[in-house]
Amino acid sequence: MRVLLLEDDVALNDLLNEHLIDKGYDVTLCTDGQEALEALIDQKYDIALLDINTPIMSGIEVLKTIRTEYKNNTPAIILTAYQDTKHLKESFENGVDDYIKKPFDLEELDQRILKLCRQFLIEQNDKIRIDDNIFFESQSCQVYVNDKIVNLAQKERDILKYFCTHKNRVVSSDELLQNIWAYDEMPTDATIRVYIKNLREIIGKDKITTIRGIGYRFE
């Protein structure tokens, strides 16, 4: 699992980095908000850990920018020494998924990361129920249809996984682009339509509805 860590305190940065690596995560370290923003734009991460009080841009500013300008929905946890509700409210208004106040135990951080893993189907082996006879297993890139195994291409898997974690809401093509493809490998809209067509043939045409001029809704 790929984790981006934005933390400008050197001692805490080192501590968290060592702990996350020990847990088996692939960690990218950033010490200022601009560096974190560029990393989140250029690469795909499973989770972002963002300190609020960082140079150039705060963690909240990074979060707001990726959410509003880049439609990037990378699951994010805000780390902060602030104890007031103002920063808590501002974080959730800008799309944070969880919030942890310093000082915190590493076990608490682990549990919050695991919570997001379950919520966003990150590295989960459990089958996701799509219909009575259709189940999706993300890690193996497989869909089970009436006990028959259908193998998915990686991007088909990524799109279906994204739909599963954003069920019953409209997802635009731009949102799919920003959250599934790296900046230097952006496909055309036609390519996305091909992936959607393939998924419909596997799980049923009624599961993915086209909202003309806007995007798709997975039901």
CA pair distance 2, 5, nearest whole angstrom: 10
CB 166 within 8 A of CB 173: no
CB 39 within 8 A of CB 28: yes
Domain hosting 53: range is 2-119
- pLDDT at residue 124 above 90? no
Assign residue 88 the CATH number of its domain.
Answer: 3.40.50.2300
Q: How many angstroms separate the first and last alpha carbons of the chain?
A: 27
Whole-number average pLDDT of the chain? 92
- The predicted structure's pLDDT at residue 88: 92
pTM tops 0.85: no
- The predicted structure's pLDDT at residue 17: 94
- pLDDT at residue 126 above 70? no
Integer-rounded Cα radius of gyration of the chain: 18
* Domain stops at, among 119, 153, 181: 119
Whether residues 107 and 185 fall in one domain: no
Whether residues 146 and 105 fall in one domain: no
Whether residues 115 and 149 fall in one domain: no
Assign residue 140 the CATH number of its domain.
Answer: 1.10.10.10
